[in-house]
Amino acid sequence: MTGKIVLNRRIIPDAHFYEMIIYAPAAAKRAMAGQFIMIKCGGDTALRRPISICVADGPTLRICYEVRGKGTAYMTDMPEGGTLDFIGPIGNGFHYKPNRRALLVGGGIGIYPLISIGVKYKKAVSALLGFRSASLIHYIDVFKSYGIPADVITDDGSSGRRGFVTELLRESLQKGEGDMVYTCGPVQMMAAVAAICEQFGVECEVSMEERMGCGVGACTACVCRTLFTEEGVQRETYKRVCIDGPVFDAREIKWK
Ligand SMILES: Cc1cc2nc3c(=O)[nH]c(=O)nc-3n(C[C@H](O)[C@H](O)[C@H](O)COP(=O)(O)OP(=O)(O)OC[C@H]3O[C@@H](n4cnc5c(N)ncnc54)[C@H](O)[C@@H]3O)c2cc1C
Ligand code: FES
């Protein structure tokens, strides 16, 4: 599938974070919150790279990416007006739970896929976002433009409050501010979020990130360890993040 690149620009002055808007009406119509696309990056990157759909707006898809290596570096050179070659939308996304109040817990590049599930909750939603430092805080205005208020915390305290986003989550749950949690970010953060939700008896969905090969369920490069119960006994199995996920019920994941 292809789409036309409408915009491809850096969003943080001194760091390699970019947003891209792609005109792709058929994909945008099908896209569900929490799904991703596999992008052909070019050069000598044989494998496509997975990037979450931040939000589908009418005929366009918005994605955001941090430059980590060759593939994402190639993406920065893709010209506006040019063509993006991608597969997707792929995967099982977040589930909307009517009549709940949602808390979106995101860290770093994990903040992006949370927007599209957040908008479904209209006013019954708030975001708790963690960044390493004040200079990396971004996209708060975009969350707000979709009607999602956001509280921010930084690891080093450079934005005011110092600490991890899990502290904000604990406080919100103590105040009874949410009864459905969606999270995406570093795995340690998501494991901690899952543990807090378990403690408060609140349902939590996590969007897992693993390195991918094919992105369509064929190569098993992306497996993560999951739990299931059979005849009263808890057992472990592997699931593919690309097609069984990327979103899972937090209780299903074997974190350690
Ligand atoms: C379902 C899914 C959704 C994603 N959504 C986004 C997104 O919205 N925005 C975004 O910026 N990134 C996202 N990523 C991560 C992104 O796919 C990788 O950063 C990208 O593939 C790196 O490619 P590269 O060629 O630039 O770097 P590479 O040269 O392939 O790798 C550079 C470094 O990044 C590490 N790395 C590569 N892929 C991953 C991964 N999947 N998880 C952890 N570490 C990795 C490598 O180990 C290496 O250290 C997502 C990943 C998955 C699985
Ligand atoms: S990336 Fe190939 S099975 Fe998931």
Q: Are 153 and 161 in contact, with CB atoms under 8 Å apart?
A: yes
The rounded Å distance from CA 220 to ligand 2 centre is 5
53 and 15 belong to one structural domain: yes
The per-residue pLDDT for range 62-99, each reduced to its tens digit, is: 999 999 999 999 999 999 999 999 999 999 999 999 99
Q: How confident is the model at residue 13 (pLDDT cuts 50, 70, 90)?
A: confident
190 and 220 belong to one structural domain: no
pLDDT value of position 14: 83
Task: Output the CA torsion sign for 131, 136, 142, 147.
Answer: positive
Residue 237 maps to a domain: yes
149 and 73 belong to one structural domain: no
Residue 253 maps to a domain: no
> What distance in Å separates the CA atoms of residue 201 and residue 185, rounded to the nearest whole number?
21
Q: Residue 37 is part of a domain; what is its CATH number?
A: 2.40.30.10
Q: How confident is the model at residue 157 (pLDDT cuts 50, 70, 90)?
A: confident
Task: Output the CA torsion sign for 47, 48, 49, 50.
Answer: negative
108 and 185 belong to one structural domain: yes
195 and 138 belong to one structural domain: yes
110 and 173 belong to one structural domain: yes
160 and 55 belong to one structural domain: no
Residue 254 maps to a domain: no
The rounded Å distance from CA 251 to ligand 1 centre is 24
pLDDT value of position 178: 95
122 and 22 belong to one structural domain: no
Closest ligand to Cα 92 = 1
For residue 10, what are the domain limits? 2-90
Residue 150 maps to a domain: yes
Residue 105 maps to a domain: yes
80 and 134 belong to one structural domain: no
* Count: domains in the chain: 3
Burial of 182 (0-12, 13-18, 19+ CB in 10 A): buried
Residue 255 maps to a domain: no
Give the residue, by CA position, lying nearest to ligand 1 atom 4.
51
Specify the length of the chain in residues.
Answer: 256
248 within ligand 1 shell (Cβ under 6 A): no
The per-residue pLDDT for range 128-148, each reduced to its tens digit, is: 999 999 999 999 999 999 999
45 within ligand 1 shell (Cβ under 6 A): yes
218 and 127 belong to one structural domain: no
pLDDT value of position 123: 87
Which atom of ligand 2 approaches the CA of 222 most closely?
A: 4
22 and 103 belong to one structural domain: no
Quick check: 161 pLDDT over 90?
Answer: no
> What distance in Å separates the CA atoms of residue 192 and residue 113, rounded to the nearest whole number?
19
Residue 70 maps to a domain: yes
